[in-house]
């Protein structure tokens, strides 16, 4: 029977393998990722309603598509020139066949001899632009990273799993929108870098890294909160547009769907209105890039480096009056100890005369002279040369002795005192003679 520590270790290894397999399975799951449609080369007009009859279903459908092409070109011309569709020139069907890329069927009903549908028309940008006389329909914004977030049943999801909100943005044609959307497919490492939790982060360095990876300049978050009355029943949604790393609210609106089958169409309408919301904010100048997303400026260099940049190394000639070897060696030591002196070269040695050096100094001669003078040297500056010498000490001045104040004169007292001293000294003198 195996020991308990070995059994515990075996269980931990098994759990690690199972956990690694689960993570790998999540990364390789097939229900993730929707490639966005590339509509950069087309111009789109949608919302064209047709109701036409014909001798059979095929003829009715072809007649409806012809009508959609004509109406779509008039609407595109009016949009590009800022005028009414009724003022648009007439274009032959053969010309329209050349500039139309495809017909988008949004909803259609086909009968034996009748065709009812809501259609959209995609025009080739290059060919239609030449015919319309314009190369660009709108002025684009800076690249904006779009993050779609859907909240349903209390769970926030972005690109982690496929959802109708992500699909609606992937199928949205952005060619005529003023917003330059950067849409992410959700494949590979996208769910790890861009997810619902990322929209709540405020760290600027991480946001800068993400924007640099996807080639964007700013962030747009399209959020929808979906509520279902019951499974398969009516649904209502609250759409909120946010901008920037702090999630500044641009605006919002509400939409509803009669049942689960209408949720996809409600999401398409939400994308269209959300684009209008972002477009209005861009026209008002509200989509300005947050300055905190820019890289911070480099720190200023330390004062020593600033001083080195201000003064380039310069070569000067220095003469030293050295009466002996001690003075000569002291001069070399002081020159090498001066801040800013990189090199001291000996030219000649003349003890008892003037010895010469070449020094490489970063600074001006006035500062060098002040440093040497503060260290007890005498320095003369002439042109671009210095002369060092030991200053001659000044002779010491003799201090005069303090003067005694004169005593007052008293003639009477002095005479009496002299007589007394003489009388007193006379016996002493006589006694000495004896």
CB burial of residue 317 (10 Å; 0-12, 13-18, 19+):
middle
User: Is 251 exposed, middle or buried (CB count within 10 Å of its CB: 0-12, 13-18, 19+)?
Assistant: middle
pLDDT digits (tens, 9 = 90+) for 347-356: 887 777 888 8
From the candidate CATH numbers 2.40.50, 3.30.110, 1.10.10, 3.30.70, the one assigned to the domain spanning 310-389: 3.30.70
Quick: pLDDT tens for 188-240: 888 889 988 888 888 888 899 999 999 999 999 999 999 999 988 999 999 99
Contact criterion met (CB below 8 Å) for 59 and 114: no
Q: Has residue 276 got a pLDDT over 80?
A: yes
List the CATH code of the domain at 42-132: 3.10.28
- Assigned CATH for 144-293: 3.40.50
> What pLDDT does residue 47 have?
85
Per-residue DSSP letter, 224: E
Instruction: Give me the helix-helix angle, 57-81 and 125-132, nearest 10°.
Output: 60
Instruction: Please report where in the chains the tokens 């072809």 appear, as a residue.
Output: 62
Q: What is the DSSP letter of 338?
A: S
Q: Which H/E stretch holds residue 26? A: helix 4-27
Q: Are 235 and 226 in contact (CB under 8 A)?
A: yes
Query: 85 falls in which pLDDT band (50, 70, 90)?
Result: confident
Contact indicator for 161, 155 with CB cutoff of 8 Å: no
- For 102-116, 128-142, 400-414, which range has the lowest pLDDT when averaged over its residues? 400-414
State both tokens at 104: 């988008």
The residues, ordered by sequence, that sit 6+ positions from 260 with a Cβ below 8 Å of its Cβ are 228, 231, 232, 233, 235
Q: Which of 150, 187, 155 is nearest to 32 (CA)?
A: 187
Sign of CA dihedral 140, 76, 263, 283: positive
Among 403, 316, 297, 406, CA closest to 356: 316
* Largest pairwise CA distance in the chain: 186
- List the chain domain ranges: 42-132, 144-293, 310-389
Q: What phi and psi values does residue 244 have, to the nearest 5 degrees?
A: 85, 170
Cα separation, 391 vs 376, whole angstroms: 8
Least reliable range by pLDDT among 19-33, 200-214, 248-262? 19-33
In 167-257, which ranges are E strands? 181-182, 218-228, 235-243, 248-257
| CA–CA separation, 71 and 45 (whole Å) | 9
- Do residues 250 and 277 lie in contact, with contact meaning Cβ atoms separated by under 8 Å? yes
What is the number of alpha carbons within 13 Å of residue 350 lying toward its C-beta? 10
Please, are residues 110 and 57 in contact by the beta-carbon 8 Å criterion? Answer: yes
- DSSP label of 86: G
Q: Per residue in 348-403, pLDDT tens?
A: 877 778 888 888 888 878 888 888 888 888 888 887 788 888 877 655 555 556 66
101 touches 122 (CB < 8 A): yes
The Cα–Cα gap between 283 and 291 comes to 20
Residue 427: pLDDT above 60?
Answer: no
The 10 Å CB-count burial string (b at 16+, else e) for 36-61 is beebeebbbbbebebebebeeeeebb
335 token code pair: 């020159």
**Is 286 within 8 Å of 250 (Cβ atoms)?**
yes
pTM given for the model: 0.54
Mean pLDDT of 39-67: 86
């Amino acid at each position: 029977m195996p020991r308990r520590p070995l059994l515990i270790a075996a269980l931990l290894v098994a759990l690690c393998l199972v956990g690694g397999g689960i993570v790998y399975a999540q990364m390789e799951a097939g229900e993730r990722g929707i490639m966005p449609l590339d509509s950069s080369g087309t111009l789109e007009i949608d919302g064209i309603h047709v109701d036409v009859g014909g001798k059979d279903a095929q003829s009715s459908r072809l007649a409806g598509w012809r009508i959609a092409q004509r109406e779509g070109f008039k609407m595109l011309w009016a949009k590009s020139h800022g005028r009414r569709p009724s003022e648009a020139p007439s274009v032959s069907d053969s010309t329209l066949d050349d500039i139309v890329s495809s017909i988008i069927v949004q909803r259609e009903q086909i009968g034996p001899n009748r065709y009812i549908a809501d259609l959209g028309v995609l025009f080739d940008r290059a060919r239609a632009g030449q015919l319309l006389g314009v190369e660009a329909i709108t002025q684009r914004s800076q690249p904006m990273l779009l993050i779609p977030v859907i909240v349903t049943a209390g769970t926030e999801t972005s690109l982690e799993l496929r959802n109708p909100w992500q699909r609606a943005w992937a199928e949205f044609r952005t060619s005529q929108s003023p917003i330059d959307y950067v849409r992410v497919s959700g494949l590979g490492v996208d769910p790890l870098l861009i997810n619902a939790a990322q929209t709540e982060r405020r760290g600027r360095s991480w946001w800068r890294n993400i924007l640099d990876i996807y080639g964007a300049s700013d962030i747009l978050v399209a959020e929808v909160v979906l509520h279902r009355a019951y499974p398969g029943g009516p649904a209502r949604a609250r759409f909120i547009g946010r901008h920037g790393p702090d999630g500044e609210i641009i605006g919002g609106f509400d939409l509803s769907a009669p049942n689960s089958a209408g949720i996809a169409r409600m999401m398409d309408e939400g994308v269209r209105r959300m684009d209008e919301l972002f477009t209005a904010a861009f026209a008002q100048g509200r989509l300005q890039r947050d300055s905190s997303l820019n890289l911070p400026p480099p720190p200023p260099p330390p004062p020593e480096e600033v001083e080195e940049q201000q003064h380039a190394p310069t070569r000067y000639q220095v003469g030293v009056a050295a009466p002996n070897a001690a003075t000569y060696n002291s001069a070399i030591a002081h020159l090498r100890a001066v801040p800013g002196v990189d090199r001291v070269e000996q030219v000649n040695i003349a003890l008892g005369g003037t010895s010469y050096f070449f020094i490489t100094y970063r600074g001006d001669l006035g500062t060098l002279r002040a440093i040497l003078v503060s260290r007890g040297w005498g320095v003369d500056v002439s042109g671009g040369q210095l002369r060092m010498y030991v200053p001659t000490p000044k002779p010491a001045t003799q201090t005069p002795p303090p003067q005694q104040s004169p005593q007052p004169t008293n003639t009477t007292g002095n005479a009496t005192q002299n007589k007394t001293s003489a009388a007193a000294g006379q016996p002493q003198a006589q006694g000495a003679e004896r």
